[in-house]
């Protein structure tokens, strides 16, 4: 993979995060400072565990009205659905090497080359059958 190039998964993640930023703007919060936004989100996250199904539906309905007004609902939901297929994991260099070898390929010695080698290996294995 060339330097600066993104995988499909990375592109989907960037698209999803961009749409989240759009939702923040739709809510009129895009000019708030990051510390306030994060605090607000942490507060909301704490409160969501106590929200029942009826109140959740009511809140979602308010959001849907706003999304419909701005004609962004389809894009936001599509991005959200795609993002649900992304899974973030952290592997050590040794673990990546073991995966590459288990897939029948040789792993590079340099740690910096492992992630792209793993992606190439997965693409090759997928093409092989």
Classify the C-alpha dihedral 107-105-13-5 as positive or negative.
Answer: positive
Does residue 55 sit in the same domain as residue 24? yes
Over 60: is that where the pLDDT of 1 sits? no
> Does 88 reside within a domain?
no
Per-residue pLDDT, averaged over 85-111, amounts to 92
Classify the C-alpha dihedral 38-41-42-43 as positive or negative.
Answer: positive
C-alpha span between 123 and 119 (Å, rounded): 6
The predicted pLDDT at position 53 comes to: 94
Does residue 14 sit in the same domain as residue 76? yes
Does residue 23 sit in the same domain as residue 43? yes
Please give the tally of structural domains in the chain.
Answer: 2
pLDDT in tens, 30-72: 999 999 999 999 999 999 999 999 999 999 999 988 888 877 6
Does residue 70 sit in the same domain as residue 119? no
∠ CA 10-80-71 to the nearest 5 degrees?
A: 115
CB 19 within 8 A of CB 74: no
Task: Supply the range of the domain harboring residue 12.
Answer: 8-83
pTM of the model: 0.52
Does residue 79 sit in the same domain as residue 27? yes
> Does 109 reside within a domain?
yes
Does residue 18 sit in the same domain as residue 78? yes
∠ CA 107-86-65 to the nearest 5 degrees?
A: 165
Does residue 79 sit in the same domain as residue 115? no
């Amino acid at each position: 993979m060339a330097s600066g190039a993104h995988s499909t998964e990375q592109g989907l993640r960037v698209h999803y995060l961009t749409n989240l930023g759009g939702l923040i703007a739709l809510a009129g919060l895009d000019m708030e400072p990051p510390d306030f936004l994060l605090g607000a989100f942490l507060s909301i996250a704490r409160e969501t565990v106590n929200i029942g199904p009826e109140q959740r539906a009511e809140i979602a309905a308010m959001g849907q009205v706003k999304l419909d007004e701005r004609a962004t609902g389809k894009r936001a939901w599509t991005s959200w659905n795609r993002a649900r297929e992304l899974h973030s994991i952290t592997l050590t260099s040794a673990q990546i090497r073991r995966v590459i070898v288990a897939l029948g390929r040789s792993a590079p010695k340099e740690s910096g080359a492992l992630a792209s080698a793993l992606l190439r290996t997965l693409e090759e294995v997928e093409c092989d059958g």
